């Protein structure tokens, strides 16, 4: 997640800029992870504003504070530990937070059992006219050529398909999971938001550095492990060769990687 924070730093800045002037505002990052956007928001609210970093994992909140300190904005943030799944979770937040001018929520809503209910509860945290920026959807970053010379062509596309199957299974196994058979803009509308807009932000690195190539190898290793037996034996064997740091076909040694991805953000007024 630290690697992802560095990789997406420029996109975080662009997304925060799309939110408009935040000087002196009360803002929150729901599911803040390692704090990349928290630090960006803290810069933008200035010394008269406040940024609340909210996550259900204490380690993430500790990492967020460390990073905010490195960025010189730790005095502008406050942390709250919360699971962000139930009405009780959000009631605790309402008791702790002031009415918020802006909420940033990136990649956590799809992990909660009832996504629509959580969006409604998040809207209740906003001051009149406050906005929610929801980063969901987009296109997962891809970096490999279609034919890597090992196994069948289309290896990365099949990994993405296996991950899509994993996601369906993950959602189905959540206790109390509720299906939401509509897109994110429609979900925001059903949750009571208005003036809904969407914008996509491009991440492109046509010639990744050696450090980024090593990070990509680590990321692919995690993704392959998560996909597990949803990949064929042939594909798992091909990935094993690509991710063998001591082998002749190690992915991080390739000179033909081209990283390309898209983050889509949906903005609505509460």
pLDDT digits (tens, 9 = 90+) for 184-222: 999 999 999 999 999 999 999 999 999 999 999 999 999
Instruction: Say which residue the tokens 């959602």 belong to.
Output: 171
Whole-number pLDDT of residue 8:
85
Whole-number pLDDT of residue 9:
87
R_g of the chain computed on alpha carbons: 20
pLDDT, tens only, 73-85:
999 999 999 989 8
pLDDT beyond 90 at 4: no
The number of distinct structural domains making up the chain is 1
pLDDT beyond 90 at 6: no
Instruction: Say which residue the tokens 């000179």 belong to.
Output: 255
pLDDT beyond 80 at 127: yes
The CATH number of whichever domain residue 73 belongs to comes to: 3.40.50.150
Whole-number pLDDT of residue 181:
95
Average pLDDT score, the chain: 95
- Domain of residue 46 covers 2-269
Whole-number pLDDT of residue 110:
94
| Confidence grade of residue 3 (pLDDT, cut at 50, 70, 90) | confident
pLDDT, tens only, 7-66:
888 999 999 999 999 999 999 999 999 999 999 999 999 999 999 999 999 999 999 999
- List residues bridging with 267 in a β-sheet: 133, 197
Q: Are 71 and 42 in contact (CB under 8 A)?
A: yes
Q: Are 261 and 141 in contact (CB under 8 A)?
A: yes
pLDDT, tens only, 89-106:
999 999 999 999 999 999
| Confidence grade of residue 246 (pLDDT, cut at 50, 70, 90) | very high
Q: How far apart are CA 186 and CA 108, in angstroms?
A: 18
pLDDT, tens only, 134-152:
999 999 999 999 999 999 9
Q: How far apart are CA 161 and CA 235, in angstroms?
A: 12
Return the DSSP state at 257: -
Instruction: Give, for 259, the enclosing helix (H) or strand (E).
Output: strand 259-269
């Amino acid at each position: 997640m630290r690697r992802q924070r560095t990789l997406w730093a420029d996109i975080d800045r662009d997304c925060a800029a799309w939110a408009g002037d935040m000087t002196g505002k009360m803002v929150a990052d729901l599911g803040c992870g390692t704090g990349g956007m928290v630090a960006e928001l803290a810069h933008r609210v200035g010394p008269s504003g406040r940024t609340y970093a909210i996550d259900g994992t204490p380690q993430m909140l500790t990492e967020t504070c460390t990073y905010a300190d490195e960025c010189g904005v730790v005095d502008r943030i406050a942390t709250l530990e919360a699971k962000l799944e139930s009405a009780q979770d959000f009631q605790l937040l309402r008791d702790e937070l002031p009415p918020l001018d802006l909420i940033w929520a990136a990649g956590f809503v799809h992990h909660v059992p009832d996504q629509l209910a959580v969006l409604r509860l998040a809207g209740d945290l906003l001051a009149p006219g406050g906005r929610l920026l929801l980063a969901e959807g987009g296109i997962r970053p891809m970096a490999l050529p279609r034919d890597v010379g090992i196994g069948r062509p289309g290896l990365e596309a099949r990994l993405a398909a296996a991950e899509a199957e994993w996601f369906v299974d993950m959602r189905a196994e959540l206790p109390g999971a509720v299906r939401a058979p509509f897109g994110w803009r429609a979900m925001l509308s059903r949750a009571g938001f208005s003036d809904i807009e969407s914008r996509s932000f491009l991440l492109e690195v046509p010639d990744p550095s050696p450090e980024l190539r090593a990070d990509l190898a680590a990321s692919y290793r995690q993704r392959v492990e998560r996909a597990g037996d949803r990949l064929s034996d042939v594909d798992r064997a091909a990935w094993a060769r690509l991710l063998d740091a001591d082998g002749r076909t190690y992915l991080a040694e390739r000179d033909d990687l081209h990283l390309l991805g898209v983050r889509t953000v949906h903005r609505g007024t509460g």
